[in-house]
Amino acid sequence: MNHHQKEVIKAAITAVGAYVPDTVLTNQELENMVDTSDSWITSRTGIKERRILKEPGKATSFLAIQAAQNLIQKKQLDPLTIDLVMVATITPDVPVAATAAYVASQIGASNAFAYDLQAACSGFLYGMSTAAAYISSGRYNKVLLIGADMMSSIVDYTDRTTCIIFGDGAGAALFEPNTEGYGWEDEYFRSNGTDRDALRIKAGGSLHPTTQQTLDAGDHFIRQDGQTVYKYAVTEMAHVTETMLQRNSLTASDVSYLVPHQANKRIVDATAKRLEIHDDKVLMNIAYYGNTTAATLPLLLNDFENNFKKGDKLIFAAFGGGFTWGAAYLTWAY
């Protein structure tokens, strides 16, 4: 390296961890709860089962803490060295008092500051960008990003259009500076709020504060217009991912793995087909967890960690409520 050239600090993922609750909710069990069938759910979504956090008194922070502790233990990380803890979630423990602050305290990250980040199913993707920006700026050295959602707390288990999709879980990734040239390479993020009603919780915010009426109407549950979201997701995920490859001069064969948000197997298949990325390179675990919102990407990283090699080129893609969506390119550092 030229001595006058400033050293480039890239933000790399240096450890991952995850947690899902023990209780399994199968398609067969859902057949007894709503008018649905295992074959419909399997063929329309690719989901066979999802995990549900059942223990009273436990919430999203519990999932996040377990995922963080899994990472800390695997990495043999001293939590006092963590500078920042971010939790991407749409199901915070409480509406006010950041879940991340509680999580940081519980894992012993007493020197860290902490806050939550909300971008629905794109939460972890956007959070990776935030983590990477903090690291490459040189301002912080260890950023712990957690994606955690207890979707069972906002799902109406009498609504067959949503209850079959979602599950609970959490995953975590540690971001650190890397001077070998590996880490966050590029991102292309988008959002469009004009269709925000297509996927949302209507009440409980400043627009429709909680009243007896909102409670009676079931307006505190998550609702979606599945077809609108589906069409948008298929088109836009392909568009941003294609852009990501093109502007980094990557062909499908250069990509080591596509790491897509797990909302519906058909959306992922459509994206992979458009990019002509072979199935072997498309990471999937939706069959076991369903859609865990902010947790899908780190759950994939944790499940497939042993497949990754230093220098592997990972392309992330997500689409979620808001709408929020995007794609990112990262090279694996270990």
Active site residue 291: yes
Could you say which of 70, 264, 291, 302 is catalytic?
Answer: 291
Residues 6+ apart with CB under 8 A from 165: 45, 47, 263, 264, 290, 291
Active site residue 27: no
* Residue 160 near ligand UT7 by CB under 6 A: yes
CB of 293 to ligand UT7, least distance (A): 7
- The binder of ligand UT7 chosen from 45, 61, 70, 152 (CB under 6 A): 45
> Rg of the chain's alpha carbons, rounded to an integer?
19
Q: Where does this chain touch ligand UT7 (CB under 6 A) — which range of 48-56, 72-80, 156-164, 177-185? A: 156-164
* Residue 233 near ligand UT7 by CB under 6 A: yes
Active site residue 261: yes
* Residue closer to ligand UT7 (CB basis): 92 or 183: 92
Could you say which of 121, 163, 264, 302 is catalytic?
Answer: 121
The number of residues that bind ligand UT7 (CB under 6 A) is 19
x/- mask, ligand UT7, residues 94-133, rule CB under 6 A, reads ---------------------------x------------
The one-letter code for the residue type at 252 is A
x/- mask, ligand UT7, residues 252-291, rule CB under 6 A, reads -----------xx--x-----------------------x
Point out which residues bind ligand UT7 (CB under 6 A). Answer: 36, 40, 44-45, 121, 160-161, 164, 226-227, 229-230, 233, 263-264, 267, 291, 319-320
Residues taking part in catalysis: 121, 261, 291
